[in-house]
């Protein structure tokens, strides 16, 4: 990575650090402080959007490990989010667990579900694996629907809000301070996984599985690890989201949601830590814009009907994915790197 003139990496440790100049630290701290201060001036609906973004970022980070880094396409990611959401709800409702114990258990059970459905990845790759993971979407939802005594079946299931030191975290205001730090921590963990041995093994498998094997990288173990980790974060996301909504329904975890997760990742940039963050923000903001403008348009042009919003969001989703695949295949995160490099080197690019 090019550095500004006058700054050299003296040790390998410095060269490997994420933050290399005091300036980076200032930016990071300023950004985190800004995140912490947002609730002081944001409206409830803005906080709601930010919490949604935080939850999706956690899930898409998981998908990024699995699909972006390890190259194993998953079309059933929202089903693993569902496993996390329902596990968390069931542990709290039926066994009286606290959210703080139920959340890691949710991650764990989604991770284990990931192992079950990751099995075929030893045999099939690419397009065929995508179809196999589609099976996960249907099978998991089928199981949830047919266990109504635990999950409520097709009816909604209530989820208690988390509490901390006897204080209920149930407003948008307080929940922001749960969801956002979770997203930040997940980002940090995923960044570290991606830049150490496990992440390199994943990328090696993605780029050339035969050569990876020849380097001593066990394909099956590492693919399963990718499925476990990817689905673990999906489960955590599901748990955090479920306890925010305080009610979950099978409708929240459809194939369409899985496709949205993939779209977010493609738009943000596969295999880059910032990818999920950019992708989720972009897509959530876009979706909100459509949902706000669509009713206005359908009121102005009544022939379009009231379903216009939903239909339009699908059309726009399709167009956006097409646009990014053609014009920005490496996603927003890559564009961001280019802009950052320009700024860092400004005004002397050598």
Decide: is 271 part of the binding site for other proteins (CB under 8 A).
yes
How many C-beta atoms lie closer than 10 Å to residue 95's C-beta? 10
Shortest reach from residue 231's CB to other proteins, in Å: 13
Q: Which is nearer to other proteins, 51 or 59 (CB)?
A: 59
Among 136, 229, 242, 332, binds other proteins (CB under 8 A): 229
**Cis upstream peptide for 347 (omega within 30°):** yes
Site for other proteins in 174-193 (CB under 8 A): 189-190, 192-193
d(CA 159, CA 239): 10
Among 214, 305, 329, 349, binds other proteins (CB under 8 A): 214
How many C-beta atoms lie closer than 10 Å to residue 198's C-beta? 18
Shortest reach from residue 330's CB to other proteins, in Å: 10
Helix H or strand E encompassing 144: helix 126-145
Find residue 168's DSSP bridge partners.
163
Q: Which is nearer to other proteins, 114 or 199 (CB)?
A: 199
Shortest reach from residue 19's CB to other proteins, in Å: 13
99-118 helix and 126-145 helix, angle to the nearest 10 degrees: 130
CB 160 within 8 A of CB 175: no
Decide: is 3 part of the binding site for other proteins (CB under 8 A).
no
d(CA 218, CA 220): 6
Terminal C-alpha separation, the chain:
12
Decide: is 203 part of the binding site for other proteins (CB under 8 A).
yes
Among 13, 34, 326, 343, binds other proteins (CB under 8 A): 13
Helix H or strand E encompassing 48: helix 44-63
Q: Which is nearer to other proteins, 178 or 212 (CB)?
A: 212
Q: Which is nearer to other proteins, 171 or 196 (CB)?
A: 196
Shortest reach from residue 13's CB to other proteins, in Å: 6
Residues that bind other proteins (CB under 8 A): 1, 11-13, 15-16, 189-190, 192-193, 195-201, 203-204, 206-208, 210-219, 225, 229, 271
């Amino acid at each position: 990575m090019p550095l500004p003139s006058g700054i050299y990496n003296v040790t390998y440790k410095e060269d490997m650090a994420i933050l290399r100049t005091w300036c980076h630290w200032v930016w990071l701290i300023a950004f985190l402080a800004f995140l912490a201060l947002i609730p002081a001036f944001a409206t409830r609906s803005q906080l709601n959007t930010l919490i949604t973004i935080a939850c999706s970022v956690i899930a898409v980070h998981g998908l990024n490990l699995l699909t972006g880094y390890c190259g194993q396409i998953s079309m059933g990611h929202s089903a693993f989010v569902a496993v996390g959401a329902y596990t968390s709800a069931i542990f709290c409702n039926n066994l009286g667990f606290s959210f703080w114990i139920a959340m890691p258990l949710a991650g764990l059970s989604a991770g284990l579900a990931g192992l079950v459905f990751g099995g075929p990845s030893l045999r099939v790759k690419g397009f065929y694996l995508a179809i196999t993971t589609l099976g996960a979407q249907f099978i998991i939802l089928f199981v949830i629907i047919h266990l109504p005594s635990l999950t409520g079946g097709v009816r909604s299931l209530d989820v208690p809000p988390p509490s901390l030191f006897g204080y209920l975290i149930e407003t948008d205001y307080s929940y922001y301070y749960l969801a956002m730090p979770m997203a930040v921590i997940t980002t940090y963990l995923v960044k570290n996984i991606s830049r150490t041995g496990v992440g390199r093994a994943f990328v090696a498998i993605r780029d050339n599985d035969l050569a990876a094997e020849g380097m001593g990288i066990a394909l099956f173990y590492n693919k399963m690890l990718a499925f476990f980790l990817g689905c673990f974060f999906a489960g955590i996301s599901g748990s955090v989201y479920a306890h925010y909504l305080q009610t979950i329904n099978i409708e929240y975890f459809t194939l369409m949601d899985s496709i949205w997760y993939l779209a977010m990742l493609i738009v943000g940039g596969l295999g880059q830590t910032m990818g999920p963050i950019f992708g989720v923000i972009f897509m959530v903001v876009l979706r909100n814009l459509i949902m706000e403008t669509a009713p206005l348009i359908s009121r102005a042009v009544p022939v379009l009907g009231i379903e216009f919003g939903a239909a339009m969001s699908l059309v726009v989703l399709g167009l956006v994915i097409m646009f990014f695949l053609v014009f920005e295949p490496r996603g927003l995160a890559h564009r961001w790197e280019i802009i950052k490099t320009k700024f860092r080197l400004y005004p002397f690019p050598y």
